[in-house]
């Protein structure tokens, strides 16, 4: 390139995700692409990787359960912002027909010379780097269309890649249409393609349904373009595992494990200890700080962020929650949509339900359930309690067996414990109720009225003690037994 000359800008990319199919092999009432792995429906993994290319257009072809597929994709963070749009394929007449539905893209300003990157919706393991490599190969070779291929030990079910003696791509033959010799080919079509916007639609209009499935096959694009004297390319990707489609529940489980494994590897590389990476379920978006230790069978889901130096016990299930630094989550806790500040200690067997906020250094112990409540700095509820719709100040002690009676059968009511309150064990706080700053509630009380600051509230029945009662009872029983024996 001459000095000062500018590199021609790369042609824009428009992405099209094929998501209208049914997926018979899942044996499900739900379309295949909605089956969830590592926290998101299959098709969403593909769309999110595609969005990271910041394409000039991003579209999904929907048909079967179109409303559900559209909703699932729209809910994914960032996809609507990335410009995701939907194209409907009313009848599912094959992958070629699916692409044709997106023809209006071609007329759009700026897309006439675009590369159309076409992705099957069932390749959830696809990496951004692989899509970039495919695009690069396509542009460098000057091909009209490029297909990504890979070699597999068992090619059954896949389209086989047929090449000529020079190794050039001739065609792709579907498994159901393949003859004995073609069935022996181990190079398969991964269902990821690049095609020039300017030629792809005209070529696809020429596909015929004279095949085993009676469908318009997208891969028929390649021989059609060749016949027109245009160059077509097969770009081989070495790592088959990453580009394989998920067609049944066994492949779903395998792909799921791979996604979890990937996140675990990334986290370990960034300084997180994972006791057993094969038995840990961490969604791709979960963040974990340095020197945190994650126990076996932990499930960390959704937009969860865990600080540094935390300990997450075995079987902990944390979803949509934020934990500060140095938080100790003992074994078998469930934490959902909650915020936990640094230094808190939780569990074992604690349940933090949505809307829980624990401030610094709070202790929530075994068999304590907290819902939509704030627990202030340094407060403790260590055993067997239910705290719902409560606002608990700093330095409070909530005794074992305390229950906020927040529900009257119709409405939920708040409980307020001001700073430094002491609630004796086995207390019921019948909401709405407030216990003032520094007040005490005696064990076993049912508190129905507000307790002023600094007071002691007690509502239990006065204790009665009957001296010698047990001895008298023993004697009575003895006498009765002797009388009965005498009669016999």
Do 401 and 424 contact (CB within 8 A), yes or no?
A: no
d(CA 333, CA 186): 47
Nearer to Ca ion, 212 or 481 (CB): 212
Query: Any contact of residue 95 with ligand UD1 (CB under 6 A)?
Result: yes
Query: Any contact of residue 98 with ligand UD1 (CB under 6 A)?
Result: yes
**Site for ligand UD1, residues 267 to 296, rule: CB under 6 A:** none
Shortest Cβ 310–Ca ion spacing (Å) = 40
Do 64 and 140 contact (CB within 8 A), yes or no?
A: no
Nearer to ligand UD1, 103 or 426 (CB): 103
Q: How far is CA 305 from CA 265, 302, 325, in A?
A: 17, 9, 10
State the residue for tokens 């996604």.
259
Nearer to ligand UD1, 61 or 327 (CB): 61
- Two tokens at 349? 């067997």
**Site for ligand UD1, residues 207 to 236, rule: CB under 6 A:** 217-219
Do 284 and 263 contact (CB within 8 A), yes or no?
A: yes
Q: Which stretch binds Ca ion (CB under 5 A): 127-135, 241-249, 260-268, 372-380?
A: 241-249
Do 407 and 389 contact (CB within 8 A), yes or no?
A: no
Size of the site for Ca ion (CB under 5 A): 2
Shortest Cβ 23–Ca ion spacing (Å) = 8
Phi, psi for 219 (deg, rounded to 5): -65, -15
Query: Any contact of residue 19 with ligand UD1 (CB under 6 A)?
Result: yes
Query: Any contact of residue 23 with Ca ion (CB under 5 A)?
Result: no
Residue 223 binds which entry of ligand UD1, Ca ion, none, with Cβ cut-offs from 5 to 8 Å by kind? none
d(CA 43, CA 37): 10
d(CA 370, CA 364): 9
Query: Any contact of residue 121 with Ca ion (CB under 5 A)?
Result: no
Nearer to ligand UD1, 245 or 393 (CB): 245
Buried b (16+ CB within 10 A) or exposed e, 370-386: bbbbbbbbbbbbbbbbb
E strands, 292-343, in order: 293-294, 299-301, 305-306, 311-312, 317-319, 322-323, 328-329, 334-336, 339-340
Residue in 237, 383, 411, 413 annotated catalytic: 383
383 noted as active-site residue: yes
Query: Any contact of residue 401 with Ca ion (CB under 5 A)?
Result: no
Nearer to Ca ion, 122 or 215 (CB): 122
Query: Any contact of residue 18 with ligand UD1 (CB under 6 A)?
Result: yes
Shortest Cβ 60–ligand UD1 spacing (Å) = 9
H or E segment at 261? helix 249-269
Size of the site for ligand UD1 (CB under 6 A): 29
Nearer to Ca ion, 76 or 95 (CB): 95
Site string for ligand UD1, 162-191 (x = CB under 6 A): ----------x-x-------------xxxx
- Two tokens at 70? 């559209």
**Site for Ca ion, residues 246 to 285, rule: CB under 5 A:** none
Site string for Ca ion, 171-190 (x = CB under 5 A): --------------------
Do 311 and 293 contact (CB within 8 A), yes or no?
A: yes
Query: Any contact of residue 245 with ligand UD1 (CB under 6 A)?
Result: yes
d(CA 342, CA 310): 9
Q: How far is CA 423 from CA 415, 418, 420, in A?
A: 12, 11, 10
Query: Any contact of residue 245 with Ca ion (CB under 5 A)?
Result: yes
| Interacting residues with ligand UD1 (CB under 6 A) | 18-21, 33, 61, 63, 89, 92-95, 97-98, 120-122, 158-159, 172, 174, 188-191, 217-219, 245
| Interacting residues with Ca ion (CB under 5 A) | 122, 245
List residues with catalytic annotation.
383
């Amino acid at each position: 390139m001459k000095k000062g000359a500018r590199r021609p800008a790369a042609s824009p990319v428009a992405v099209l995700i094929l998501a209208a199919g049914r997926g018979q092999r899942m044996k499900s009432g739900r379309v295949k692409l909605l089956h969830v792995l590592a926290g998101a429906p299959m098709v969403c993994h593909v769309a999110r990787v595609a969005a990271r290319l910041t394409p000039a257009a991003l579209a999904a072809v929907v048909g079967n359960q179109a409303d559900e597929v559209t909703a699932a994709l729209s809910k994914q963070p960032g996809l609507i912002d990335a410009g995701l749009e939907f194209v409907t394929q009313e009848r599912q007449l094959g992958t070629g027909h699916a692409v044709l539905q997106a023809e209006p893209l071609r007329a759009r300003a700026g897309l006439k010379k675009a590369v159309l990157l076409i992705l099957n919706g069932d390749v959830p393991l696809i990496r951004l780097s692989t899509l970039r490599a495919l695009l690069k190969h396509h542009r460098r070779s000057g091909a009209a269309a490029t297909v990504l291929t890979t070699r597999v030990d068992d090619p059954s079910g896949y389209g086989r890649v047929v090449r000529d003696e020079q190794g050039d791509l001739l065609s792709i033959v579907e498994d159901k249409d393949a003859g004995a010799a073609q069935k022996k080919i181990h190079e398969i079509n991964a269902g990821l393609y690049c095609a020039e916007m300017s030629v792809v639609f005209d070529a696809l209009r020429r596909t015929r349904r004279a095949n085993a499935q009676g469908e318009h096959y997208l891969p028929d694009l390649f021989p059609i373009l060749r016949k027109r004297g245009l160059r077509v390319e097969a770009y081989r990707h070495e790592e088959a595992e990453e580009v394989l489609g998920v067609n049944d529940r066994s492949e779903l489980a395998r792909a799921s494990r791979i996604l979890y494994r990937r996140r675990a590897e990334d986290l370990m590389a960034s300084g997180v200890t994972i006791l057993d990476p094969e038995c840990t379920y961490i969604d791709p978006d979960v963040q974990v700080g340095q020197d945190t230790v994650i126990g076996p069978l932990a499930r960390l889901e959704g937009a969860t962020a865990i600080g540094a130096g935390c300990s997450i016990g075995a079987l902990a299930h944390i979803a949509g929650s934020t934990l500060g630094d140095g938080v100790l989550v003992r074994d078998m806790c469930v934490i959902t949509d909650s915020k936990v500040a640094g230094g808190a200690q939780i569990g074992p067997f604690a349940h933090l339900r949505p809307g829980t906020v624990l401030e610094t250094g709070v202790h929530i112990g075994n068999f304590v359930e907290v819902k939509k409540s704030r627990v202030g700095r340094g407060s403790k509820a260590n055993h067997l309690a239910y705290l719902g719709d409560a606002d608990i100040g700093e330095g409070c002690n909530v005794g074992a067996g305390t229950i906020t009676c927040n529900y009257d059968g119709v409405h939920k009511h708040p409980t307020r414990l001001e700073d430094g309150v002491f609630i004796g064990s086995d207390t019921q706080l019948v909401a709405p109720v407030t216990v003032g700053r520094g007040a005490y509630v005696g064990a076993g009380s049912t508190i129905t009225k507000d307790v002023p600051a600094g007071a002691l509230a007690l509502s239990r029945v006065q204790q009665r003690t009957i001296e010698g009662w047990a001895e008298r009872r023993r004697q009575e029983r003895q006498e009765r037994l002797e009388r009965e024996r005498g009669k016999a």
